[in-house]
Amino acid sequence: MIGFYDYTVIMTYISVVSSMIGIFCAVTDHISAAVCCLAFSGLCDMFDGKIARTKKNRTEEEKCFGIQIDSLADIVCFGILPIVLGFKLGMCHIYGIAILLFYGLAGLIRLAYFNVMEEKRQNETSENRKYYQGLPITSMSVVLPLLFVVSLLFPEYKWFVVLLHIAMLTVGLLFILDFKFRKPTNRELVIIVAVVAVAVLLVLFYNEGWWKFNYLYKLSMERGGNL
């Protein structure tokens, strides 16, 4: 079989499977489950690079494959899944679709640029990366769950949709802006994981009724008052 199947890429494969399940959940209106899949994919992505670097005798082919497969996985996990979620959550008008298209294109450009620069960097040095150029595409796995938690402060669904538009546009723009973004330390990663874990629990157990009531109300209005 072609490809590489050792432990250095297993977390990436798990991340992709999680996001594909999330897409299925989103299109069938299981939004909370889809958000959880997004967060889990983000968790896998946080540690796949650390796991890969534990193998000291990786060949050049394995290193290049790792770079490519990671970016290809990211466009599914943090590009396509958030776009499907955004569309299902109310970004279905022309301006919302335009923002989603921009978000997807910006993410694609960022990942392609990262591949080129990361391969060049690895050829020049063996040091671990300390900074990113622009906001990593994986950031959406943190932003979207936290946005759901923030939505608890807004009793009307329309304000959540407004925030969703703003968040998708802002994050997409930060993907391609040229600025230095410091890589989180291990301690900061633990804090991020803990915060997102709490957000996911709130999405599952507290926010479920809120978004479902408002989401069904939105569908009712779109269908002339009939579900």
Q: Could you read off the pLDDT of 6-37 as tens digits, one per residue?
A: 777 888 899 999 999 999 999 988 888 899 99
Region 76-100 average pLDDT:
93
CA within 13 Å, CB half, 191:
5
Q: Say what percent of the chain tops pLDDT 70.
A: 82
Question: Which of 43 and 204 is assigned the larger pLDDT?
Answer: 43
Which pLDDT does position 169 carry in this prediction?
Answer: 96
Question: Which of 154 and 221 is assigned the larger pLDDT?
Answer: 154
The residue ranges of every structural domain in the chain are 7-222
Q: Is the dihedral of CA 16, 21, 22, 28 positive or negative?
A: positive
The DSSP bridge partners found for residue 182 are 131
Q: Is 110 exposed, middle or buried (0-12, 13-18, 19+ CB in 10 A)?
A: buried
Question: Which of 24 and 197 is assigned the larger pLDDT?
Answer: 24
Question: 83: part of which helix (H) or strand (E)?
Answer: helix 81-88
Which pLDDT does position 39 carry in this prediction?
Answer: 92
Q: Six-digit token pair at 41?
A: 């994919």
Cut 0.75: pTM above it? yes
**What's the distance, CA 45 to chain centroid?**
10
Domain 7-222 annotated CATH 1.20.120: yes
Residue pLDDT, tens place only, 102-118: 999 999 999 988 888 77
Residue 227 has pLDDT above 50, yes or no: no
Which stretch, 20-24, 64-68, 128-132, has highest mean pLDDT? 20-24
The distance in angstroms from the start CA to the end CA of the chain is 49
Question: Which of 6 and 101 is assigned the larger pLDDT?
Answer: 101
